[in-house]
Amino acid sequence: MEDVKLMKGIVGDVCKIKAAGGISDFDTALKFIDAGAGRIGASAAINILDNYKQYLSNNHKK
């Protein structure tokens, strides 16, 4: 994650940074996005999307 922050600090918005490796859930993906990643590479995409759907349903209840 520190590498993503470093790269974002150097390239800014000139290009998107792809984070990959060890990203197996939505919380981890979100941390990388917050660190500056514009893209996520993950073999666990279905799990991440399932986590995201759960996140949305928990945070949008009225």
Number of domains within the chain: 1
Cβ atoms 32, 4 nearer than 8 A: yes
| Number of CB atoms found within 10 A of residue 38's CB | 14
20-56 pLDDT tens trace: 999 999 999 999 999 999 999 999 999 999 999 999 9
Structural domain range at position 12: 2-59
Give residues with Cβ within 8 angstroms of 29, minimum separation 6.
23, 40, 42, 48
User: 7 pLDDT exceeds 70?
Assistant: yes
9-18 pLDDT tens trace: 999 999 999 9
